[in-house]
Chain A
Amino acid sequence: MEPKLDLPPSKPVLEIEQEREDDLGGRRLVVNFGPQHPATHGTLRAIVELDGEIVRSMALEIGYLHSGFEKIAEYRTYNQTVTVTDRMNYLSPLCNNIGFALAVEKLMGLEVTPRCAAIRVILYELSRVADHILSVGLQAMDLGAFSVMLWTFIERENLYDIFEAVTGARLTTSYTRVGGLFRDVPPDFEEMCRTFMAKCGKSIDDIETVLNENRIFRDRTVGVGRLSKEEAISFGLTGPLLRACGVPYDIRKARPYLGYDQYDFEIAVDDEGDVFARYRVRVKEMREALKIVDQALRALPQGPIWVDDPRIVIPPKNADNAPSGGMEGLIYHFKNYMLGHGVCPPKGEIYFATEAPNGELGWYLVSDGSGRPYRWRVRPPSLYNYQAFPEMCAGKLLSDAVAVLSSLNVIAGELDR
């Protein structure tokens, strides 16, 4: 039997799709921007009503990359769910891993060890660089500066080499566990990070040299997609987009987690609220992120990476790679993987937000006391950032829409989940 779907049609889309005549008798053109347009960076569909080249109105349609991640997670244990989180965000997967682990730890009332926290901070900030540098590169590429994109890809590749050495995978990292990490960092981790930081700093300089005073880049970005402070707040924007509008809101400062209050860094803010301001905020944030990595590397403490709680710790393995601690260790090891015996947060619910590269990445977890989340909801920053897209483009040229969209840095996997 065919399933009966009686969903109401999304109204704005239909309204736009009826082509209307304007005052001069000329017809307005309705164009599909995406979902398979190279400038959309993912499967995003925008239906644009054009008057010549001017965007009159726009309707967004999302859901092309809906993968049911939230539902999948309800059928996985908390540790297994980590594998779902990194697949949502294909630019900075480690941020999702770490954010999710922190949310579950908060639900359980756990505090990770200083070494674990420092490693998480380093990887979080490196992921921020990975996200921003690609975002800046693609922003430049959409406006015609192709070589900048290639330079940023080199840096991203170097970063992925670090992630590969640490986590064992380039994108599908699945690095965190509740209360600890999959494994410790390799011995040459600091050296790798230092080499990368030196190179990346120079690359960012190069990018700034090429773009900052570039006439074409400036003409196409300054004053484009401008949003006022009030509009940005009312849209619920977070992250670089909000800070580019002059609101110094950063969760790392506002509600510090992972010991971010110990690190010395500034919130990158710009007042203009246009595409160029977003580019500048991202560049500045990359420099600040490298500063945090430098501080964290210098103060990287020795010690365990797991919390001291045998109920949830996957016990360390001995020289034979078998669980240490004899029979008792083996029992804990087994219990950790048995449903309802390992990570079982107490009954309750929690919302925990981290400052992901694109903004506030929130995790809402409801636990019924079993080994699986009862409800698992993600507040993706991209969804809220993307809804301001029509507002930013109204009355502008269609080519400006491309510039605006690349400055939003929408991650479709996270947006549609």
Chain B
Amino acid sequence: MKMGKFKMRLYLPAVAKGLWVTMRRFFSRKETVEYPDQAKVPRKGYRGEHRLKKDEQGRMKCVACFMCQTACPAECIEIVAGPSPWPDRDKIPVTFNIDMLKCIYCGMCEEACPCDAIELTPTYNIVATSRADKIYDLHKLLSR
């Protein structure tokens, strides 16, 4: 604070210094990402759009245990369970709706899933033209 008052009043050294920093910044590498032409790819582990996984035989992994629905803080998952056609499990989901407008992408469904059936993918630009399109059903979640 106790800088010389005279030096302060001179005003020009500060301007020169400021200009120098600004020019150096001006000619340094550009940080801007030109978004639509040049998309930023998030790392693995980014919490974006959901998908339901399938096992080696192409069957859905989900066993309708309702864990994700219980863990979800936004209450956006709606599951209706039905009998399973396969002998290794009792239940499969008949409906599995995720309301993407309610979803807050916290990743708690993935954390809660005991079967590694639901996953958040790094897809972040999710566009829809109607509200109905934003409710992802079983078919849509499995096809991702």
Contact = CB atoms under 8 A, between A and B. Distances in A.
Contacts of B105: 169, 172
A174 B67 contact: no
Which bucket holds chain B's interface residue count?
20 to 34
A263 interface: no
Interface residues of A, number: 39
A337 B70 contact: yes
Contact of A214 (B3, B7, B14, B45): B14
B14 to A, nearest CB: 4
B84 interface: no
Q: Which of B18, B67, B70, B105 has the most CB of A within 10 A?
A: B18
Contacts of A214: 14, 18
Given A157-B31, A338-B70, A321 B104 contact: no
B3 A213 contact: yes
B25 A206 contact: yes
Interface string B1-22: 1010001100101100110011
Contacts of B107: 168, 174, 182
B142 interface: no
A215 B1 contact: no
B21 A334 contact: no
A330 B63 CA distance: 14
A120 B115 CA distance: 29
A76 B73 contact: yes
Contacts of A186: 43, 45
A151 interface: yes
B114 A330 contact: yes
Given A213-B17, A214-B14, A218-B8, A151 B25 contact: yes
Contacts, number: 83
B81 interface: no
B43 A172 contact: no
Interface in B42-59: 42-43, 45-47
Nearest to B65: A334
A209 B67 contact: no
Nearest to B43: A165
A80 interface: yes
Nearest to A147: B22
B71 interface: yes
A411 B67 CA distance: 35
A321 B120 CA distance: 14
B111 interface: yes
A245 interface: no
Contact of A83 (B14, B67, B70, B104): B104
Nearest to B7: A213
A321 B70 contact: no
A360 to B, nearest CB: 26
A215 B108 contact: no
A142 interface: no
B60 interface: no
Contacts of B8: 213, 215, 218
Q: Which of B47, B115, B116 has the most CB of A within 10 A?
A: B47
Interface in A184-221: 186, 206, 209-210, 213-215, 218
Interface in B67-125: 67, 70-71, 73-74, 104-108, 111-112, 114-116, 120
Interface of A: 76, 79-81, 83-84, 147, 151, 154, 157, 164-165, 168-169, 172, 174, 182-183, 186, 206, 209-210, 213-215, 218, 272, 314, 317, 320-323, 330, 333-334, 337-339
Top 4 A-B pairs, shortest CB-CB distance? A321-B116, A80-B73, A168-B47, A213-B14
19 contacts: A83-B74, A83-B106, A83-B108, A147-B22, A154-B31, A168-B45, A169-B46, A169-B47, A174-B106, A174-B107, A206-B21, A209-B17, A213-B13, A213-B14, A213-B17, A214-B18, A320-B116, A333-B112, A339-B70
Interface of B: 1, 3, 7-8, 11, 13-14, 17-18, 21-22, 25, 31, 42-43, 45-47, 67, 70-71, 73-74, 104-108, 111-112, 114-116, 120
